[in-house]
A and B are shown apart, each in its own frame.
Chain A
Amino acid sequence: MRGPRDKRMSIEQVVDQLEDGMTIGIGGWGPRRKPMALVRAILRSDLRDLTIVSWGGADVGLLVRAGKVRKLVYAFVSLDSVPLEPNFQRARQQGTIPEVVELDEGMFQTGLRAAAQRLPFLPMRAGLGSDVLVNNPEIKTVTSPYDEGHGHEELVAVPALRLDVALVHLNRADQHGNATYLGPDPYFDDLFAMAADRTFLSVEQVVDTAGLTVDTPVQRLLLSRMLVDGVVETPNGAHFTTCTPDYERDERFQRTYAAAASGTDEEWAAFEQRFLSGDEAAYQAAVRELQEEKG
């Protein structure tokens, strides 16, 4: 009997499937369980003019600093313990992101839901009365055909956030793309996958299918292989964001990143040289070296 396809691939093979101008959704949340190894691979590539859709953290900061982003769709960009993402802040203040779409957090989810359900929009209350609608005049309202005693309510018609590609990072997957998160929060990685034409998944560890439910309930199986096009094993691949319970955020590295990003051009160049000039293995080696330094 033949089983389902083996979808294992390398980071480079994922990036080879991306193209200039694509709309890419990045899973996780702020500085939590971001597919950072895949983001670093995009930084190394010559990809450009990307539309990035993300509840943003350093993924957004790194990509805008590298000038990869033509359009950014976000609700916030934060590093949690460093509230404001310095690279994002800098890019916004210098006007280097050509187009920005700032949404309410919940509108973002609704937009992904609409795309996942192949609908042009979904109605929502969030956004009404706020400058989200003023700053994004392409977002229209829709009037309810029903009067439930409050008149025909006029709601936001949140447009579908359709993605060419979704990049997500989970804890475990099998070689076919069935995947599980082991931390406390799934975030929206399943929704990103459903909103996208293709989904590439990086994981801490690829295991046998039977291994996926050995020590964790079946309810944690967030992604079915139907939704996944490629699986990459990238240990520590969410670094420096959280990947609970495999590891927590590397706060010290994040402080180093934030200091360089808020510093002079020379300081940023030194950070790039030290951490971002080589491949993923070189990055992980440089991270270990920093961890071994005293302090």
Chain B
Amino acid sequence: MTAPETTSTRADICAAAIADAFRDDGEIFASPMGLLPMLGVRLAKLTSNPDLVISDGESLFLAGVPPLFAKADVVEGWIPFPKVFDVVAHGKRHVMMGATQVDRDGNQNISAIGDFDRPKRQLLGSRGAPGNTVNNRTSYWVPKHSTRVFVEHVDIVSGVGPRRAREAGPAAARFNDIHRIVTNLAVLDVGGPDDTVRLLSVHPGVTVDEVREATGFALDVPADVPTTREPTTEEQVLIREVLDPKGLRFKEVPQATAQEKTS
């Protein structure tokens, strides 16, 4: 089977897939970490979920939906860091974080690579990942899907997957909700057997085998894997002309259409 013709860039497809992760969230604080998640959340707010609450990434809730990194907008609320932790504990939030490693059980690592006591590579630290994952809906964005990211076991569990949450007891499992993992190749969730990572769709031009090869554990692959949807014309206009006219998204996901990639 050949991939369908497409004029969307891979970055646009990722943005629409991220937007879809937020479409059914209702009136909650959408908290994207990083550029493509910010683009996807703003796209969702302009299309499928206008009730989303978004911020400037610092301390203001924005009433409008400004382009990426634009300063001026109407402010509708105040969300300094002390209040962010209140919203996390309260639960009306969906965060999309980055992930240096993700394992088969949906655990995520942003802390360090190697032993915690003497890491080979120190990263950020666990940040808010432990609290996010036991309190509110959490998704991950992985701009380079590879066996370095998708590993059998993460070195340090920052973000808690469903199995670890279950093993830690009801207080940890009650609100654990790992919703989507969107990558440059595919959309995944943790709906596989025993809450393991499952392939939901492959982006246009990507094969299931490519995703399998780029994943360092046995990925749950349903018999029929659909292709990630193309952005609508409206979405493409919003991405290209309103939200990201400068093409900042191509720094995270290089500009290559499906045809260019396969030719």
B49 to chain A, nearest CB (A): 26
B75 and chain A: residue at smallest CB distance: A184
Tell me whether A106 is interfacial, beta carbon within 8 Å.
yes
Number of residues on chain A facing chain B (CB within 8 A): 43
Contact A184 B58 (CB under 8 A): yes
A188 and chain B: residue at smallest CB distance: B82
Q: How far is the CA of A104 from the CA of B125 in the complex (A)?
A: 9
B164 and chain A: residue at smallest CB distance: A129
Contact B124 A127 (CB under 8 A): no
Give B112-129 interface residues, CB cut-off 8 Å to A: 112, 116-129
A23 to chain B, nearest CB (A): 19
Contacts of B119 in A (CB 8 A): 92-93
Contact B127 A105 (CB under 8 A): yes
Contacts of B129 in A (CB 8 A): 104, 130
Contact B128 A105 (CB under 8 A): yes
Tell me whether B135 is interfacial, beta carbon within 8 Å.
yes
A138 to chain B, nearest CB (A): 15
Tell me whether A217 is interfacial, beta carbon within 8 Å.
no
| Stretch in contact with the other chain, from B169-177, B187-195, B218-226 | B169-177
B174 to chain A, nearest CB (A): 6
Contact A76 B164 (CB under 8 A): no
Contacts of A124 in B (CB 8 A): 89, 131
A105 and chain B: residue at smallest CB distance: B128
B95 to chain A, nearest CB (A): 12
Number of residues on chain B facing chain A (CB within 8 A): 47
Contact B89 A129 (CB under 8 A): no
Contacts of B159 in A (CB 8 A): 130
Tell me whether B245 is interfacial, beta carbon within 8 Å.
no
Tell me whether B59 is interfacial, beta carbon within 8 Å.
yes
Q: How far is the CA of A89 from the CA of B121 in the complex (A)?
A: 7
Contacts of A134 in B (CB 8 A): 157
Give 1 or 0 for each of A115-150: 1 = CB within 8 Å of chain B CB: 000000000111111111011000000000000001
Contacts of A128 in B (CB 8 A): 130, 134, 160, 165, 168-169, 171-172
Contact B122 A104 (CB under 8 A): no
Tell me whether B197 is interfacial, beta carbon within 8 Å.
no
Contact B58 A185 (CB under 8 A): yes
Contacts of B122 in A (CB 8 A): 84, 88-89, 92-93
Q: How far is the CA of A186 from the CA of B58 in the complex (A)?
A: 12
Contacts of A153 in B (CB 8 A): 169-171
B135 and chain A: residue at smallest CB distance: A125
Tell me whether A187 is interfacial, beta carbon within 8 Å.
yes
Contact B125 A76 (CB under 8 A): yes
Tell me whether A154 is interfacial, beta carbon within 8 Å.
yes
Q: How far is the CA of A245 from the CA of B78 in the complex (A)?
A: 17
Q: How far is the CA of A24 from the CA of B176 in the complex (A)?
A: 34
Contact A125 B172 (CB under 8 A): yes
Can you list 25 A-B contacts with CB-CB less than 8 angstroms, sorted by A residue number? A75-B127, A76-B126, A84-B123, A92-B112, A93-B118, A95-B117, A106-B85, A125-B131, A125-B175, A126-B88, A126-B135, A127-B131, A128-B160, A129-B134, A129-B164, A130-B133, A130-B158, A130-B159, A131-B126, A131-B156, A150-B170, A153-B170, A154-B171, A185-B58, A186-B80
A interface residues with partner B (beta carbon < 8 Å): 29, 56, 74-78, 83-84, 88-89, 92-93, 95, 102-107, 109, 124-132, 134-135, 150-151, 153-155, 184-188, 191
Closest 6 CB pairs of A and B: A126-B131, A128-B172, A129-B168, A130-B130, A92-B122, A76-B125
B interface residues with partner A (beta carbon < 8 Å): 58-60, 78, 80-82, 85, 88-89, 111-112, 116-131, 133-135, 156-160, 164-165, 167-172, 174-176
